[in-house]
A and B are shown apart, each in its own frame.
Chain A
Amino acid sequence: MNTAKTAKTAVSEPSDEQLIQRFQDGDLYAFEMIVHRYKNQLTNFVFNFLGNRIDAEDVVQETFLRVYKNKHRYKQIAKFSTWIYTIASNLAKTELRRRKRRKLFSISQLGFEDKDYDIPDSAFSPEKVIEEDFKGREIREEINKLPEKFREVVVLRDVQEFSYEEISRILHIPIGTVKSRANRGRLRLQKQLAHLLAK
């Protein structure tokens, strides 16, 4: 019974590695599935990193474009998620550098008029939604104030919930450095969010 269920799941939900393999073999629908699977989580990651939604979507599109153009560069030795997050992370850093060069200081462009927040709250209450929305926005702004090296680790670890090993592979830094940056980043963020956490 379990085996049948597993087999059915495997057929209906192919792994990322199976999808990229199919795409490498010329199956464009597999690419569509990859986009569908990763578009929101990558946008969240980049948005938390850049703090600007339009730029985040732009970076994520560029990420998919790179995957499309360089599909044959992916080797099965690494997890697909690690590969695509590495691309997105590098592009996001490039965007940050470009901003620094242009001396553009951007703040989140998400306002209350935006309808794209998906609040994971079953007990819907407008007041609670607004409160959560406001809190989420404030937390994002504080994340954005963290130094880049702490921000990327905190976002990958505590928002995207990657393991330290995966973060190490995505960012190409030793695990020890990842842990140290995560700890220091958390303590900084905790200090910045003290007013929110005390409520």
Chain B
Amino acid sequence: MAPCKHMTRLLCKQIDGDITAEEQHHLDEHLTSCEQCAAAAESLRLMKKQLRQLPVVRVSDEFHIILRDRIRKSRIGYGAAKIEFPLLPRWTYIPAAGVALAVVALLLRPYLSQTDERPFSTRGTAVAEYLNDAAPEQVHYVIEDNPDSIMLSRDDSGRMRTDSTHTPRESAIGQRAGAVQVSF
């Protein structure tokens, strides 16, 4: 049923409806003498008709719900006004974010830099009491050469107390037996 090779183009032009009168005449002449091409022409015409009449597929009932959900999830907001910044060009977003962060940091600075204002000895006593009251496995010592840390030593009964004779700044770790430097 394959048409003659040189007639293929004309057969397709015919079913597209853009064949010229001269081409149509040439094709008709050929079709009267070529059964194969005549059959192919009829078959192509029928196929084109069937393709045009293919059953229409309709979207499912959930189509709109899923679409709305996808649009909402894309963080744009379906049914809601889109928030835009028309006054700011795109390239300013990163510097603007930097400036905003700096402002926030400045505002939070007093709270962030707040330190324990209690006298060193009082703070040290509280720490010593905490260590004495806590179960041994709950006590964690962080030993470091830090001016804010507290020097503690054990008394004769084995309890922790502040070591006022030795400040962290003056000491080297492990230099004084029985003293530990603690920071929290």
Interface residues of A (CB under 8 A from B): 26, 28, 35, 39-40, 43-44, 47-48, 53, 56-57, 60-62, 64-65, 68-69, 110, 116-120, 132-133, 135-136, 139-140, 154, 158-159, 161, 179, 182-183, 186-187, 189-191, 193-194, 196-198
Please tell me if B43 contacts chain A, counting CB pairs below 8 Å.
Answer: yes
Q: In the complex, how many angstroms separate the beta carbon of B45 from the nearest chain A beta carbon?
A: 10
Given the interface pairs A120-B53, A186-B12, the reply to whether A43 lies near B47 with Cβ below 8 Å is no
Nearest residue (CB) in B for A42 is B59
Give 29 A-B contacts (CB < 8 Å), ordered by A residue. A28-B78, A28-B79, A35-B64, A40-B56, A44-B54, A47-B57, A56-B57, A65-B67, A116-B60, A118-B55, A118-B56, A133-B55, A139-B50, A158-B51, A179-B12, A183-B8, A183-B9, A186-B12, A186-B47, A187-B3, A187-B8, A190-B43, A190-B44, A191-B1, A193-B50, A197-B43, A197-B46, A197-B47, A198-B43
A119 contacts B55, CB within 8 Å?
yes
Stretch at the interface among B30-38, B68-76, B133-141, B168-176: B68-76
| A117→B53 CA distance, assembly (Å) | 12
A65 contacts B71, CB within 8 Å?
yes
Interface residues of B (CB under 8 A from A): 1-3, 8-9, 12, 15, 40, 43-44, 46-48, 50-60, 63-64, 66-67, 70-71, 74, 76, 78-79, 81-82
